């Protein structure tokens, strides 16, 4: 998996530039991968190098000021545009802030404490 990711991400200027001049190409853990790109054409190179993308598990999220949807197809399936998604238990939002993630974690913790109330 690491070889395929390194190979596909070095084919062109893949990824996005972060604030500290580091190029981020992907977030990956085990078999979960979030691909980062500046254009909607970047996902084609992964399939060429041998990294199949699951159309059932994939979503598209645009980060930026415009609200126009991005039309990306995996095979013949148009991918759903979302404003947030869950990656490794964290809520990633298109606005880039962590407020939704923090509120979600607090709500989950409160639900667990309510269930434990009968024990205490």
Long-range contacts, stretch 28-34, CB < 8 angstroms, 24+ apart: 28/1, 29/88, 31/1, 32/87, 32/88, 33/5, 34/87, 34/92
Number of domains, the chain: 2
Residues 68, 17, single domain; the answer is yes
Residues 29, 73, single domain; the answer is yes
Residues 97, 46, single domain; the answer is no
Q: Which residue has the higher pLDDT, 74 or 26?
A: 74
Residues 76, 88, single domain; the answer is no
| pLDDT at position 117 | 86
Show the domain range for 108.
84-120
Residues 68, 108, single domain; the answer is no
Query: Considering only 2-11, 54-63, 79-88, which range has the smallest mean pLDDT?
Result: 2-11
Residues 16, 74, single domain; the answer is yes
Overall pTM surpassing 0.75 (yes/no): no
Q: Which residue has the higher pLDDT, 57 or 115?
A: 115
Q: In this predicted model, what pLDDT tens digit does every residue of 2-54 receive, in sequence order?
A: 665 555 555 555 666 666 666 666 666 667 777 766 666 655 655 566 667 78
Residues 23, 50, single domain; the answer is yes
Q: Which residue has the higher pLDDT, 9 or 93?
A: 93
Residues 32, 57, single domain; the answer is yes
Residues 75, 103, single domain; the answer is no
Contact residues for 103 (Cβ-Cβ < 8 A; gap 6+)? none
Residue 68 reports pLDDT greater than 80 = no
Residues 48, 100, single domain; the answer is no
């Amino acid at each position: 998996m690491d070889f395929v990711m390194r190979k596909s991400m070095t084919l062109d200027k893949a990824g996005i530039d972060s604030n500290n001049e580091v190029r981020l190409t992907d977030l990956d853990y085990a078999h979960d991968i979030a691909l980062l790109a500046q254009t909607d054409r970047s996902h084609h190179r992964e399939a060429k190098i041998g990294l199949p993308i699951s159309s059932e598990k994939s979503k598209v999220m645009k980060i930026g000021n415009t609200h126009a949807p991005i039309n990306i197809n995996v095979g013949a399936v148009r991918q759903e545009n979302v404003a947030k998604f869950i990656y490794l238990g964290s809520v990633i939002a298109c606005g880039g802030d962590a407020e939704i993630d923090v509120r979600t974690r607090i709500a989950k913790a409160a639900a667990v404490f309510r269930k434990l109330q009968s024990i205490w």
